[in-house]
Structure 1
Amino acid sequence: MQALAVGLACVLVKFGAWWGAMGWDRPMIASTITGILLGKPVEGITVGAALELVYMGTQSMGGVIPQDYGLGGIFGCAFAILVSAKPSVAVALSIPFSMLGTLIYDLFKFWATSLVTRFQTHLENHQIKAFKRLWNIQAFVYLLMWFLLGFISILAGTSAIKALVNMIPTVIMNSLTVAAGMLPALGMALLMISLWSKKLAPYFFIGFGLVAFFKGTLIEVAFLGAAVAFLAVIGQIGKHTNGNNAQPKTAESAEESEEEDFYND
């Protein structure tokens, strides 16, 4: 039943990520779904929050996925619950599965790409039913692939993973704990590489000060950050509205404003 639950979690996460890009493959959502299906929703949310910090800066660029963070979230949460391991151990165990997920997805894309000519042939011959049938086969293979990965991995690997965790010496376990504590910092660093600017730097140091000096929790900092962001957006909207009301628009200025808004959007 546990293997079936993890396999179903893989199907739900991948379904939500592919159909509609609903973001179900984010570690926070993936781990929560896994925790609910395994009957431990609180543990799922806790592990998901830890893994979200690790994979925060991991994004798909141009179709290239460096790590399958959804799969990492599923198996990290599953092993944390089934093996009764610490979140730090779950973080360490999720990394190999995130890399494995990338490899498996690349193999699927290779097979799916080979079907393009058949799809094109069905369209040219106006064989709509054959086109739909081939699409449904592709979707079924996609979801079945992830289900089997989750089912077989848990069915065959839980006992082995539990024995492996029990065999790990205390020194290595403490090292994994330290490494897991550093991984969220790495995730934040990867995120800051793409977002860092002089305008955003003060907000970063404000958040750092709230945690370092005033012992604020992440939830408290996130709440204050959301309030500051809301005020900043309201201020920008007010300035934009006042600027538009102060200057009467001629036909030429209106055209330039529309062009500027187009490129800004």
Structure 2
Amino acid sequence: MQAAILVGLAMAVLWFLEKLGGTPMVIRPIVVSPVIGALLGDLQTGVMVGATLELVFMGAIQIGAAVPPDVLVGAGLGTAFAIQSGQGADIALALALPIAILAQSLKVIVFIIRSWFMDLAMKLAEAGDIKKLHALNIGGLLLQCFMYFVVGFVALLFGSPAVEAFVNNIPQVILNGLSVAGGLLPAVGFALLLLPMMEKRNAIYFVFGFILISYLNLPIMAVTIMGVVLAFVICYEKGASGNGTAAAAAVSSEEEEDLFDE
């Protein structure tokens, strides 16, 4: 019981600090696992499991409305089960990913619930009521913190066999529905991020990226490197052009001053 409460509180507090502190990355496995290990009296296992899981979840980063597997729950519960079972990183690796995927689905549900408050948030913004906006935001964060506490507490209270059985017995229809919802959210998230940048002069770059992926079948890393090189070339050319214009203007100004002096 005590271990379940400690793990649940630790996950809730780490999530709250992550969002309140401007994303200091305290929910990464390399931080979460040592914290859980210290609370459960086995810091060494926590550090080892954290380093291992960080490699597994290195690419799981939330961007916009995209919802990746929940690394906080995966690392927290994976570490706790590894310490309780005495099997180290092996059991953590076996349980962390399915637990993180399940928590991803729960987070989607929480996001859906939080979206119900958007109309109220818009009204408060139009009225300029900043205090109530802050309170509404904190309330949403506390709701998600409560989710993390309940997940951690229940999972640790019933143990890893119950968690494995629960994950394996979820109806496939529910899993498919949550999987579709989770797949749509990344597209919505990237669309929202691109919306402020979508102009006529930028549209050609999106077409270029589409061609690279769809017709040339280049991997994401190759497209990313090409994007960085293209951005550097464009910025360099603009910088050189700007410096040339400034230099020409300076020369013209000096010539005018010399003409007046004569």
Shorter-chain TM range is 0.5 to 0.7
The runs of 4+ residues in structure 1 deviating greater than 4 Å are 158-163, 193-197
Tell me the residue number matched to 2:42.
40
Residue in 1 aligned with 2:92?
A: 90
Partner of 1:15: 16
Match of 2:102 among 78, 100, 103: 100
Which residue does 2:150 correspond to in 1? 148
Q: Which moved more, 1:12-21 or 1:138-147?
A: 12-21
Q: Using the alignment, how far apart are the partners of 2:45 and 2:62 within structure 1?
A: 27
| Contact 1:28–1:51 (Cα < 8 Å) also in 2 | yes
Q: Is the 8 A contact 1:82 1:158 kept in 2?
A: no
Give the letter for the 2:118 counterpart.
Answer: V
Query: Which residue identity is paired with 1:70?
Result: L
Match of 2:231 in 1: none
- 1:29 Cα deviation (Å)? 0.9
How far apart, CA to CA, are the structure 2 residues paired with 1:13 and 1:109? 18
Residue 69 of structure 1 corresponds to which residue in structure 2?
Answer: 71
1:5 aligns with 2:6: yes
The alignment covers a number of residue pairs equal to: 177
Please show how residues 166-177 of structure 1 align to structure 2 within 5 Å: none
Task: Identify unmatched segments of 5+ residues in structure 1.
Answer: 164-192, 200-248, 257-265
- Residue 87 of structure 1 aligns to which amino acid in structure 2? A
Q: Please, which of 220, 244, 250 is the counterpart of residue 253 of structure 1?
A: 244
2:32 is aligned to 30
> Quick check: 2:49–2:88 contact (8 Å CA) kept in 1?
no
Structure 2 unaligned residues grouped into runs of 5+: 166-218, 226-239, 248-262
- Residue pairs, 1:193-204, within 5 angstroms: 194-195=220-221
CA drift at 1:133? 3.2
Q: TM-score, normalised by structure 1?
A: 0.59
Deviations 1:161-218 (A, max 9, x none): 799xxxxxxxxxxxxxxxxxxxxxxxxxxxxx65469x9xxxxxxxxxxxxxxxxxxx
Q: Give the partner amino acid of 2:244.
A: S
Q: Is this contact kept in 2: 1:11–1:147, CA < 8 A?
A: yes
- Counterpart CA distance in 2 for 1:162 and 1:77 is 15
Partner amino acid for 1:29? Answer: V
Percent identity over the alignment is: 28
- After TM superposition, the score normalised by the length of structure 2 is 0.59
Report the alpha carbon displacement of residue 90 of structure 1 after superposing the two structures with TM. Answer: 1.3
For residue 132 of structure 2, what is the aligned residue in structure 1?
130
Q: CA distance change for structure 1 residues 129 and 24 in 2, over 3 Å: closer, same or farther?
A: closer
Alignment of structure 1 residues 103-252 onto 2, 5 Å = 103-158=105-160, 160=162, 194-195=220-221, 252=243
Deviation of 1:124 after TM superposition, in Å, equals 2.6
How far is 1:131 from its partner?
3.1
- Partner residue in 1 for 2:170: none
Tell me if structure 1 keeps the 8 A contact 2:45–2:88.
Answer: no
CA RMSD of aligned residues (A): 2.9
- Counterpart CA distance in 1 for 2:153 and 2:77 is 11
CA 1:36/1:254 → structure 2, altered by over 3 Å: closer, same or farther? farther
After superposition, the Cα gap between the structure-2 partners of 1:108 and 1:250, relative to the gap in structure 1 and judged at 3 Å, is: closer
C-alpha distance in 2 between matches for 1:143 and 1:106: 14
- CA gap of 1:80–1:131, structure 2 versus 1, over 3 A, is same
Distance (whole Å) between structure 2 residues aligned to residue 42 and residue 255 of structure 1: 60
Q: Deviations over 1:29-75 (max 9, x none)?
A: 11111111112111100111111111123333443133112211111
Counterpart of 2:146, as a letter, is: L
In terms of Rg, which structure is larger?
A: 2
CA separation in 2, counterparts of 1:97 and 1:129? 37
Q: Distance in 2 between matches of 1:132 and 1:62?
A: 20
